[in-house]
Chain A
Amino acid sequence: MIKLVGVNKHFGLHHVLKDINLEVPMGQKLVVIGPSGSGKSTLIRCINMLERPSSGHVIVDAVDLMAHRAPVAKVRQSVAMVFQSFNLYPHKTVLENVTLAPIVVCGVSKEEATTSALKYLERVGLREKADQYPAQLSGGQQQRVAIARALNMHPKVMLFDEPTSALDPEMIQEVLDVIIDLAQSGITMIVVTHEMGFAQEAADRVIFLDEGSIIEDGTPQHFFTNPQHDRTKLFLSKILR
């Protein structure tokens, strides 16, 4: 489904991703863990080309996005992203947020987009907020709308970049519950998170990124009980304390 081959990313002199090789099969729930600044966001943003790697190949659904004139916008339609800071469209209602891209980008009819939007808003428990504006919602509610917005593209892959880091503690669980619920479905998910409980519960694979390299790759059980590197052990001892 997703394959990164020899991906490097430099910001100026700063070598942020170092020869990343990663293959994520269809349906996998991959959790990306790592200290701040290790390159997690950069990695996940390379998958939908919000960040263009300096070298290497990013292959999504058999399309090499690094190729000349690759259909990046087309591929992005099936790779949804949920951001740390929600990034809802503030000038649109909740319903419009969820229907805009299907209508404008995919050419779905307004009726069809609305029907499925209400279904997904129902699923994240916010159907009754359809006519409100994002500013009228709490952070947790905004993030759930962002998830409904992503789902209404009927994506094959969902990317989450620390979806709960910007939330007040009491709202984290409502968002995690939605993501855990999603993880029961067949969709491919890549989640950057510091929520170790979530990783244990929902992931079927965990990678640990350190200074731009993947230094740990395995099942959650392996990761939490038998990490190979001292740096991973150090990280876990800090975060699980």
Chain B
Amino acid sequence: MSEIIASIGFLQQGPFSIPRWEAVFSNIDVLWAGALVTLLVASLGLAMALALGTVIGVMSASHWKLPRALARAYVEFYQNTPLLIQVFMLFNAIPLVFPGLFIPVIVIGIFGVGMYHGAYIAEVVRAGIQSIGRGQLEAALSQGFTYVTAMRYIIIPQAMRIVLPPLTNQAVNLIKNTSVIAIIAGGDLMYAGDSFAGRYGHYGPTYVIVGLGYFLMCFPLAVLTRRLEERTRAA
């Protein structure tokens, strides 16, 4: 066994050598801590993205001109600029506008991914609402529902079933995108990996493990997405 290992060159020297793996595993706590921050940012960011996305999606599917225009502007802005720059702006611009206001980096991360994915979720929600036949809204209105109560009781519950698979897909993207807060020293899994790897040069094993960490967080959601898609198709 040890002879076989000894004969494998890349385990003896270079970026993936055994001593590097050992060094990473003996410091795995650092990565654990980062993973917890990533989970925290992802779950709160997702909650924010869902809330924002639902409100903005309903606004952009509505027949009211002003809310629709505002929703469109929001979506276009957030979808057509890089998340990296948005997070960087939040980090640097808020102290300029509100001097002395201290915002923890984690909160900036939550707002960053929350607002960015809120725009994508808004589009998913809008498409879902628009896929519900016009007859449903007309039936509700003809019974005396207002536009808002018709949305609440008739349209949105039906749209939600349709948008569930694309929503979980958004959750996967959101988890991966939390890694951008590494550039503002976010303390997340990516940042933990970066700084640890940078300190000792153990890039190879560190990024393999960090990547695996993201995979373990995302893969269950990806499986869920596929299940939901199958269920939607069967219905």
A interface residue numbers (CB < 8 A to B): 48, 50, 73-74, 76-77, 79-81, 83, 85, 87-91, 100-101, 104-106, 149, 153
The smallest beta-carbon distance between B158 and chain A, in angstroms, is 5
Scan B104-144; emit 1 where CB is below 8 A from any A CB, else 0: 00000000000000000000000000000101101111111
Chain B 137-162 interface residues, beta-carbon cutoff 8 Å to A: 138-146, 149, 153-154, 157-158, 161
A87-B136, A91-B158 given; A104·B141 CB < 8 A: no
Q: Which of A76, A83, A87, A88 contacts B144 (CB 8 A)?
A: A76
Scan B213-226; emit 1 where CB is below 8 A from any A CB, else 0: 00000000000000
* Contact (Cβ within 8 A) B142 A50: yes
Q: Which of A74, A85, A89 contacts B154 (CB 8 A)?
A: A89
Question: What is the bound-complex CA distance between A16 and B158, given in angstroms?
Answer: 33
Q: Which of B135, B138, B139, B146 contacts A73 (CB 8 A)?
A: B146
- What is the number of contacts between chain A and chain B, taking CB atoms within 8 Å? 55
A89-B136, A91-B158, A104-B149 given; A73·B142 CB < 8 A: no
Question: What is the bound-complex CA distance between A89 and B133, given in angstroms?
Answer: 11
Question: What is the bound-complex CA distance between A90 and B149, given in angstroms?
Answer: 17
Question: What is the bound-complex CA distance between A100 and B155, given in angstroms?
Answer: 13
* Contact (Cβ within 8 A) B136 A48: no
List 6 tightest A-B contacts by C-beta distance, closest first: A77-B144, A87-B139, A101-B143, A87-B135, A81-B142, A105-B144
B interface residue numbers (CB < 8 A to A): 133, 135-136, 138-146, 149, 153-154, 157-158, 161
Q: List 16 A-B contacts (CB under 8 A).
A: A50-B138, A73-B141, A73-B146, A76-B141, A80-B142, A83-B135, A87-B133, A87-B139, A89-B140, A90-B158, A91-B158, A101-B140, A101-B143, A104-B145, A105-B144, A153-B143
Question: What is the bound-complex CA distance between A60 and B74, given in angstroms?
Answer: 42
Q: Which residues of B contact A88 (CB under 8 A)?
A: 139
Nearest CB to that of B146 among chain A residues? A73
Question: What is the bound-complex CA distance between A101 and B154, given in angstroms?
Answer: 10
A76-B144, A105-B143 given; A83·B138 CB < 8 A: yes
Question: What is the bound-complex CA distance between A170 and B202, given in angstroms?
Answer: 77
* Contact (Cβ within 8 A) A91 B143: no
* Contact (Cβ within 8 A) A101 B144: yes
Q: Which residues of A contact B161 (CB under 8 A)?
A: 91
Q: Which of B135, B149, B157 contacts A105 (CB 8 A)?
A: B149
Question: What is the bound-complex CA distance between A50 and B139, given in angstroms?
Answer: 10
* 14 further A-B pairs in the complex, CB-CB below 8 A; given A91-B158, A105-B145: A73-B141, A73-B145, A77-B144, A81-B139, A81-B142, A87-B136, A87-B138, A89-B136, A90-B158, A91-B157, A104-B149, A104-B153, A106-B144, A153-B144
Question: What is the bound-complex CA distance between A198 and B226, given in angstroms?
Answer: 51
Question: What is the bound-complex CA distance between A105 and B136, given in angstroms?
Answer: 16
A91-B158, A105-B149 given; A73·B136 CB < 8 A: no
Question: What is the bound-complex CA distance between A77 and B146, given in angstroms?
Answer: 11
A76-B142, A91-B157, A106-B144 given; A85·B136 CB < 8 A: no
